[in-house]
Structure 1
Amino acid sequence: MTAHLSRRSLLGLAGLGAGTVLLGGCGRGESGGSAEPQTIKWWHIQDTEPMLPVWAEMARLYEVRHEHVTIKVEPRENEAFKAELAKVSRAGSPPDLFQSWGGGLLRQQVEAGLVRDITDEVAPWVGQLLPAALQPYTVDDRLYGVPFDLGMVGFWYNRDHFADAGITSPPTTWTQLLEAVGKLKDAGIVPIALAGKDKWPAHFYWAYLAMRVGGLGPLERAALDGNFDTPEFVTAGERFLDLVKLKPFQSGYRRAEYGSPDGQAAAIGNGEAAMELMGQWAPSIQASSSTSKRGIGSRLGFFTFPTVEGGKGEATDVLGGGNGFAVGRGAPSATVDFLRTLLRAENQRRAAQTGAVLPTNLAAVGQIKDPNNQVVAANLAVATGFQLYLDQAFPPKVGQQINDSVADLVAGTKRPDQIVKDITAVARSQ
């Protein structure tokens, strides 16, 4: 199952005011469920500044207001989280509240009976959230998670590096992007930072190129028949190879992780590379991963993924998704009330102020202050289509095969026509 959203559901992301009020969670003295002692095990991936202390403080305040509730917060790095969640899921013991991107994995968790249907519990307040953000967490018209963040993937770039290379404006076509890479290399600047070890960052290129070459149609068909062995997906791989052949990535990129001190985000945050293709969280991770802990500040710019000459895709079709939380099947009764508290307008505004979150609460969306997030929100506001990250939209085995196959393409061990056969074989076995 993939998530495709129309422009209609995405309108309103920018410019909404604070007039819409979100009903809050329980206040001091209110129960939030049974008064019996309860412990909520909460797993999330905001394991660094700026969101790590924000989540911790929200949990602490909830405990103060609910003396019978203890929240055991367990932050984990992204890849470690996925591995550990898979392990406990196989054992049938998911956390009470855990990070989720919705899509194919959530559907599998639903079918395995690992997560709770929270449709009725959140009905009094979920209407205050952006409809577009809810789509990936909806399975067969029932809600199994709640999103706190929604954004898109695009190119983050160093304005000074572009100027030094004689690039006067961000590229709008794939040919112009390749030309920009050449100019940056000629100026002695590393064009693109890539976390080759993590694999998922590279899949953004192939996914976007497939969207630009064939539009959203081929992805919608692949979701139904599992067939990726089509001209659009092959061409996407060929266009990606045109970039790879230019050797645009930093030295040692195949061993690089995304958020490590010597990884992809740090390369941008330390001014060591000119661009990265990444989601709305990029500026905050660049800063926290950089030596200065500040990143490159106002030198950072953003542009959408270029069009491909002759392609059917719209420049305003975006690849993205968000972050949310699902509730484990055996979670204590206070879990959904705590989740409601995290989504209150004032807490969403606080998260937005860090620059790491694009809020889903309508009352907080219009309060985005971070200039980078304002740019992302403005692009989402005019989006004509929305595609969830492919490694989340499809079942986990298919998503992993996409990441592995794109990594094979980058490494030169598989051709574009070979990787689509590999992905198709896994997709049709599900």
Structure 2
Amino acid sequence: MSLGRRSVVTLAAAVLLLGGCGGGGQEAGAGAGAKVTVEWWNIVTTEPLKSIWAEKVKEYQALHPGVVIKNVPIENEAYKARLTTLNQSGKTPDIFTTWGGGVLKQQVDAGLAKDVSDEVAPWIGTMTPASLQAYQFDGRTYAVPADIGMVGFWYNKALFAKAGITAPPTTWSGLLDDVGKLKAAGVTPIALAGKEKWPGHYYWAYLAMRIAGLDALEQAAADHEFGGPGFVEAGRRLKELVDLAPFQKGFLGASYNTPDGQAATMGNGKAAMELMGQWAPVVQKEAGKDLGDDLGFFPFPAVDGGKGLVTDAFGGGGGYAVGQDAPAEAVDFLKFLSQAGNHREAVASGAVLPVVKGAEDAVKDPNLAVVARTLASATGFQLYLDQAYPPAVGQEVNDSVAELIAGRKTPEQVAQAITATAKSE
């Protein structure tokens, strides 16, 4: 899975009590020759990236004998809890993992995350525009991307062929037609983890993007108003799909990566499609089987008459923010990690997708290469709504869309509920 898809941090109740942290400086007790220490909290606890980052720390320290990079990998959920508690004390590590969007904006507004715009200006142009969007507010940059991904349809080519479908759909109406063809051939069209809610929000979010456009999503967040016709229409189009009963039996109680969940249903060849991020093939294999050459990928289709572009992507990734009191060496280390050679090494390992321009050819997996090329040419990028918006609003999106899919809310009620939560924030 990507560096942090399911990592919506909240600045809420503390669960751990930590001592002071953040604000790099001289090592305690050191004299005139003291080294600068940069504390780096990250969630890279698995291979191959864990070893790659450890090696990059050694290389950087060899090039900069006066600097110590204190590499602190922390498991994802533990990281969220520890960072939340630390933020409540008004502190941060010198460098820390971020997923951008609403949570990073809260940290910026609280004076915790540093505006690094001027420091990164000489080299930030090497980054792809899509990878930067989650970390920029009002034209200023507050984090450096390290990974990116996008949501799209993963499909089983053999099951498509069984239903007589010769090419993936490029329009929403075409997708609905293909759902009918798959059902007629005795194939479950789509796998969905209804119990976990977040996979369902992908449909509504993408439809809102395709119908209302990215500008409308941004304006809705600013105005706290999601009742416009584009958002209601997104719900209506999603209901069109739901009314076709396209999902596997028992989908409302299904999790994502359990043996009987969404990923396993797809990986075991029991459904023809799933709408999921770039990590989908790995989780399919872990929870079920490897579809191998039968697995393909296509972007979310266009909606006839919609204002959004089919080349606009929806997804997320991971990056690194800098604490307000961090030394200059913190940004310099991020510059080092972002150098083309170092980033290509991480990409070639399969651990991340490119955020540096021109690194797409380092992706070895053919399906991920399609994702990487799509992202590199994306005309716009929308962060997951449950990360882009304040946490309460993101949760309401997940909850209300889940209710629509379950048949318990209308498209109008979904828009009204999200608006009400946004206005209460």
- Settle same-fold status: TM greater than 0.5: yes
Normalised TM-score (structure 1): 0.79
Alignment of 1:2-151 (within 5 A): 35-36=34-35, 38=37, 40-44=39-43, 52-65=46-59, 66=61, 68-76=68-76, 82=80, 85-151=83-149
**1:418: how far off?**
0.9
- Counterpart of 2:353 (choices 354, 358, 377) is 358
Most deviating of 205-214 and 54-63? 54-63
- Counterpart of 1:422 (choices 406, 409, 417) is 417
- CA separation in 1, counterparts of 2:156 and 2:206? 21
Most deviating of 201-210 and 328-337? 328-337
Amino acid paired to 1:211: M
- Counterpart of 1:171 (choices 169, 172, 189) is 169
Secondary structure at the aligned position of 1:53 is classed as coil
Alignment of 1:296-335 (within 5 A): 296-329=291-324, 335=330
Most deviating of 64-73 and 145-154? 64-73
Deviations 1:83-113 (A, max 9, x none): 6644543444545543322222211110012
Amino acid paired to 2:247: F
- CA separation in 1, counterparts of 2:216 and 2:302? 16
**1:347: how far off?**
3.0
Deviations 1:49-94 (A, max 9, x none): xxx21221123224544394431211326xx765664454344454
**1:155: how far off?**
0.8
State the structure with bigger RCO (CA 8 A, min sep 6), 1 or 2: 1
Secondary structure at the aligned position of 2:231 is classed as helix
- CA separation in 1, counterparts of 2:348 and 2:360? 11
**1:231: how far off?**
1.8
Normalised TM-score (structure 2): 0.80
Amino acid paired to 1:43: N
Does structure 2 conserve the Cα–Cα contact (< 8 Å) formed by 1:41 and 1:74? no
Match of 1:9 in 2: none
Match of 2:263 in 1: 265
Amino acid paired to 1:418: Q
Amino acid paired to 1:75: E
- CA separation in 2, counterparts of 1:332 and 1:195? 44
Match of 2:276 in 1: 278
The CA RMSD measured in Å over matched residues stands at 2.9
**1:188: how far off?**
3.3
Amino acid paired to 2:163: A
Most deviating of 173-182 and 297-306? 173-182
Amino acid paired to 1:406: V
- CA separation in 2, counterparts of 1:239 and 1:84? 40
Q: Which runs of 5+ in 1 are unaligned?
A: 1-33
- CA separation in 2, counterparts of 1:64 and 1:330? 24
Deviations 1:174-220 (A, max 9, x none): 22212222332333333212222332221110011122223334324
Secondary structure at the aligned position of 1:99 is classed as strand
Match of 1:377 in 2: 372
Aligned length: 387
Amino acid paired to 1:408: E
Most deviating of 219-228 and 311-320? 311-320
**Is the counterpart of residue 403 in structure 1 residue 380 in structure 2?**
no
Does structure 2 conserve the Cα–Cα contact (< 8 Å) formed by 1:191 and 1:274? yes
Deviations 1:250-282 (A, max 9, x none): 344334343445433333233332211122333
